[in-house]
Structure 1
Amino acid sequence: MNRYTHSLAIARALSEPARPCAIRAARLIDARGVRECAWVVARDGVITACGTDEMEFARQTADIDNIIDADGSLLTPGYVDIHAHGGWGASFDDGAEGIAMARACHMTHGTTRQVLSLITNPLDVMEHNLRTVHAQMASRPDILGSHLEGPFLALARKGAHDPVCLIDPVPQVVTRLLDAADGSLRQITLAPELPHGLEAIAAFRAAGVIPAIGHCDAGYTMAREAIDAGATIMTHMFNAMNGIHHREPGPIPAVVEDRRVTPELINDGFHVQDPVVRLAWDLVPHRIALVTDAMAATDCPDGHYLLGTLDVNVQDGHARLVSNGAIAGSTLLLEQAVARAVLNLGIAAPEAVEAATLTPARALGFDQPNAVTGAPLGLVAPGYAADFLLTDPHTWRVERVWCAGHPMP
């Protein structure tokens, strides 16, 4: 099956009714810990029972013929990525076909739910892309909504964003973006020090959008003000912001101090070096959300790609702008980020899984029953969405995927 056909098969599977299913003989790992010889039962896209008692399993599955023997594989919740731009050669800015292709890339590797990040573009293009994401959500339960990374970014910290399109978040522009998203905008990254930055944070928060501090030149005090105004995510911590200095603390200590904030982290060993990843894990335990910031080249060969309208070269899996060599997103998968955390960094498996499941879900309110997914996300527990993975216990490579009870092809 080629990738285009695969993307169509995933979309088709998600549109069909979810059959009852059950998995047994698994090593269950989620944010609550590890359970051996575990099982789970799902009906109508929701987990109805899980446990370790075999007699209870037999009772729960008496009418189910779709039972999978995990044979000791890891059973985890499906991964949730709240910051990614594309994969398999396509971007989430590329319309319905691009969204289907990029989602297939990440779904295949265990990311069952995803917020679609949209790059900085001319305002009318961003409005169009917001409407496209909103329209796709009607038939795609795996799409949680959109994330605008821009256009309200600091010029000095723009990274791979087109400087021509960067603007101040004046009220009329904020209103245009909210209207275009029509309730589907989940998160927006902005620089709080912009002239209308704090005002925009409050306005987005009032509209149900989570503001994220990022691509900014803010210091400690400004970051504190942004958090108090309603910013409760930090976009890719350490990247595109002031670092920590003993006389100029910068925004990171403000986030570390405030448990209301969820810091994103790109664990690819390139954006953030391993010693700093370990440090971050100790500084903000149970608050890190692993993200990919993945661009179109994800799970593709090295070569030439586009990020918006900007030319990107990918070499050894690292993406940089052709124009100035700036880092241009990543080619990371959450599957790899979790594996690196456990196998390379020695992070406890439940904590690594938590950072790719419950924590990102909680950052946007999806750890509770909600209007988008219905059932909450992030745990393998009764009442939660039937999003789960079977993963190789040695390599942490994803072997099988279910989203809302649908087995993925």
Structure 2
Amino acid sequence: MTPTRAPGAIPESRRTTLLTNLTRLDADGEAAESWILLDGDRIRAVDRHAAGPLPVADETVDLGGATITPGFVDLHAHGGGGFAFDDGVDAIRRGLAPHRERGTTRSVISLVANPPAALHASLAAIADLAATDPLVLGAHLEGPFLSPDNRGAHHPHFLAAPDPALVDDLLEASRGALRQITIAPELRGALDAIERLAAAGVRVALGHTTADYEQTRAGFDRGATLLTHAFNAMPGIHHRAPGPIVAAIDDARVTLEVILDGVHVHPSVARLLFDAAPGRVALVTDAMAAAGAADGPYRLGSLDVTVSHGTALLAGTTTIAGSTLTQDAALRLAITAAGLSARDAVAALTRTPARALGLDSWLGLIAPGYAADVVVWNDDWTVRRVWAAGRPVAVGAAARPADSAAAPN
């Protein structure tokens, strides 16, 4: 798989890369392809016919029959590699690195509840980064509009009701980079805020909530289209009180996030969700700083977190504080533990989250005109190579960790 390069210096942004001898796997299915041509940040052409000359490219890579998928899209992550996304541009860049080398080529940067000034600074940092890094899709405010009774790992002092002035303040501070926000629909003013945010082009998720079925349905009817980490920080399913999970299943407009790390949701329960809402489950990491890093003490926003055996808990409690998951591990667990087909597992990490963000016209498939985001896989579903926006991503031994062995709880 040694690449050959054409002579001469060519600007990296417009380099062409020809990938040959491969099998494509994406939400549209699996097929043996002759070659795929990456042209700058987009896929120019895909060919299934071995006859005829190969296109001329600046670099040709023979993949030796390996499977390739689109790059993964993570709707929900807070950090990685020892760095928290709340800590500024440099921390975001460094925290994204372990995710990118594990196949996540596009990321929404999630923020925990913090005081307004801190949120302003974080939103400004993400706006600056998104303006120069196309792999950063924008910001996700997971707080402050959360239920104090189902806040998870969010500081209670920094929660707030979604009053119109605060909603407009955060929209203005984001400079158009606010891609997603989580709201508990039962809060005072939440339904009006959902409508205002959706009208501004923000994808609204319901979560960290005590809402019942009817309150959740009301939130979806006002414009929410996502459920934040289904089953976690919300009422479960009861035969007489179906709650927010069933409300999301019942609504074809809604995408359901799932953290498939063997800790947050049992794989068999995740499989039930895939069966109940086909094509509408997006696998996310909710990763905090310890993803791709060692166990030990960390911070999530202003709260202390202890990571042991890959499980993150608020210090001194049994409250889960995000995950240490990367999306390649989620893929392996989806196939081996949840029993999904490789196609359905890949779709939940590519096409489905792209559609949830309204970006599926150019993101989430291996097809002409789509983003030149490609992951090359070994036979054991570990990452071999990655291209993001047409550029190679360095992949080292860190991209092949053992999957979490923690028992589900």
TM-score, normalising length: structure 1: 0.92
- Which residue of 2 is the match for residue 399 of structure 1? 384
Q: Counterparts of 2:34 and 2:280 in 1: how far apart (Å)?
A: 27
Q: Counterparts of 1:252 and 1:345 in 2: how far apart (Å)?
A: 19
Cα shift at 1:94 = 1.0
Letter in 2 for 1:157: N
- Which residue of 2 is the match for residue 260 of structure 1? 253
Q: Counterparts of 2:312 and 2:387 in 1: how far apart (Å)?
A: 30
Q: Deviations over 1:39-96 (max 9, x none)?
A: 211112111111221225x34x1x2141111112111000000100000000111111
Letter in 2 for 1:383: G
- Which residue of 2 is the match for residue 20 of structure 1? 16
1:355 maps to 2:348 = yes
Report the 3-state secondary structure (helix = DSSP H, G, I; strand = E; otherwise coil) of the residue aligned with 2:258: strand
Q: Deviations over 1:317-360 (max 9, x none)?
A: 00000143310000000011011111222211111000000100
Q: Counterparts of 2:253 and 2:141 in 1: how far apart (Å)?
A: 21
Cα shift at 1:16 = 4.2
- Which residue of 1 is the match for residue 5 of structure 2? none
Question: Is this contact kept in 2: 1:168–1:194, CA < 8 A?
Answer: yes
Question: Is this contact kept in 2: 1:37–1:52, CA < 8 A?
Answer: yes
- Which residue of 1 is the match for residue 399 of structure 2? none
User: Percent identical across equivalent pairs?
Assistant: 47
Match of 2:57 among 64, 71, 74: 64
- Which residue of 2 is the match for residue 48 of structure 1? 44
- Which residue of 2 is the match for residue 316 of structure 1? 309
1:176 maps to 2:169 = yes
Match of 1:210 among 203, 209, 219: 203
1:281 maps to 2:266 = no
Question: Is this contact kept in 1: 2:73–2:350, CA < 8 A?
Answer: yes
1:389 maps to 2:375 = yes
Counterparts of 1:145-184 in structure 2 under 5 Å? 145-184=138-177
Q: Counterparts of 2:14 and 2:312 in 1: how far apart (Å)?
A: 38
Q: Deviations over 1:191-234 (max 9, x none)?
A: 00001110110010011101101000100000110000000000
Letter in 1 for 2:383: V
Letter in 2 for 1:392: N
Question: Is this contact kept in 1: 2:120–2:173, CA < 8 A?
Answer: yes
Name the Cα RMSD after superposition: 1.1
Gaps of 5+ in 1: 1-14, 369-375
Cα shift at 1:17 = 1.7
- Which residue of 2 is the match for residue 380 of structure 1? 366
Gaps of 5+ in 2: 1-10, 395-409
Q: Counterparts of 2:12 and 2:120 in 1: how far apart (Å)?
A: 30
Q: Counterparts of 1:196 and 1:157 in 2: how far apart (Å)?
A: 18
Q: Counterparts of 1:281 and 1:294 in 2: how far apart (Å)?
A: 21
Q: Counterparts of 2:228 and 2:180 in 1: how far apart (Å)?
A: 10
Q: Counterparts of 1:76 and 1:282 in 2: how far apart (Å)?
A: 22
Q: Deviations over 1:77-121 (max 9, x none)?
A: 000001000000001111111011011111111100000001110
Cα shift at 1:18 = 3.7
Q: Counterparts of 1:44 and 1:19 in 2: how far apart (Å)?
A: 5
Question: Is this contact kept in 1: 2:67–2:376, CA < 8 A?
Answer: yes
1:366 maps to 2:345 = no
Q: Deviations over 1:245-288 (max 9, x none)?
A: 01111111111011100000001111001110111111111110
TM-score, normalising length: structure 2: 0.92
